[in-house]
Chain A
Amino acid sequence: MSAPVSTTTIRAGRLTSVAAEGLSRHFGRGAERFTAVAELDLEIPVGRRIGIVGESGSGKSTLARMIAGLDEPDEGDVVVDGRPLRQVLRSRSQRVEYRRVVQLVAQDSMSSFDPLRTVRDAVRTPAEQLCGLGRAAADALADETVSALGLSPDLLDRRPHELSGGQRQRCSLARAMVVQPRLIVCDEVVSALDVSVQGQVLNLIKDYCERTGAALAFVSHGLPATAFVAEELVVMRHGRIVERGTCDEVLTAPAHPYTRQLVAAFRGRGAGSAA
Chain B
Amino acid sequence: MRPWLHHNGWWLRRLLLLPVHLLVFALVAFALVRTIPGDPVLVVTGNQISDDQYADVQRRLGLDGSLAHQAGEYFGRLLRLDLGDSLITGRSVTEEFGSRLPQTLELAALGLSVSLVVVLALSAVVLLRPRGVISRLAMAYARSAGAIPEFAVAVAGIFVFYASLHWLPSPLGRLGPDDPVPTPVTRFPLLDAVLTGNPQVVGSMLLHLVLPVFAMVVANSAVLLRLLCSQLEVELARPATRFRISTGAPRWVVLASIYRRALPATVTMSGTLFGYMVGGAVVLEGLFGFGGMGQYLTDAVTSADLTALQGLLVVIAAVSLVVFLLVDLINMALDPRRRPGSGGAA
Contact = CB atoms under 8 A, between A and B. Distances in A.
B260 interface: yes
A115 B334 CA distance: 11
B239 A108 contact: yes
A251 interface: no
Nearest to B343: A162
A112 B243 contact: yes
A130 B246 CA distance: 10
Given A125-B247, A126-B248, A115 B261 contact: yes
Nearest to A107: B239
Contacts of A116: 257, 260-261, 334-337
B31 interface: no
A134 B240 CA distance: 23
A170 interface: no
A114 B244 contact: yes
B34 interface: no
Interface string A100-125: 10011010100111111100001001
Contacts of B243: 104, 106, 112-113, 122, 175
Contact of A130 (B240, B248, B336, B343): B248
A167 B259 CA distance: 27
B69 interface: no
B250 interface: yes
Contacts of B242: 65, 70, 112
B267 to A, nearest CB: 14
A65 B245 CA distance: 12
Given A111-B238, A115-B261, A129 B244 contact: no
B249 interface: yes
B248 A114 contact: no
A98 to B, nearest CB: 10
B345 interface: yes
Given A70-B242, A108-B239, A114-B244, A129 B249 contact: yes
A112 B239 contact: yes
B90 interface: no
Nearest to A130: B248
Contact of A99 (B238, B239, B248, B250): B248
B197 interface: no
Given A106-B243, A112-B239, A161-B345, A125 B257 contact: no
Q: Point out which of A114, A129, A162 has the most chain B C-beta atoms below 10 A from its C-beta.
A: A114
Contacts of A271: none
A197 interface: no
A68 interface: yes
B240 A125 contact: no
Contacts of A129: 247-250
Contacts of A108: 239
Given A112-B240, A114-B240, A159-B344, A130 B247 contact: yes
A113 B244 CA distance: 8
Interface string B215-250: 000000000000000000000001110111111111
B247 A126 contact: yes
Q: Point out which of B242, B243, B257 has the most chain A C-beta atoms below 10 A from its C-beta.
A: B243
Contacts of B334: 116
B335 to A, nearest CB: 6
Given A116-B335, A161-B345, A162-B344, A111 B245 contact: no
Interface of A: 65, 68-70, 96, 99-100, 103-104, 106, 108, 111-117, 122, 125-126, 129-130, 159, 161-162, 175
Which 5 pairs of residues, A with B, have the shortest CB-CB distance?
Answer: A129-B248, A130-B248, A126-B247, A125-B247, A161-B344
Given A113-B243, A159-B337, A175-B243, 8 more contacts: A96-B248, A103-B246, A111-B239, A113-B240, A115-B240, A115-B337, A159-B344, A162-B344
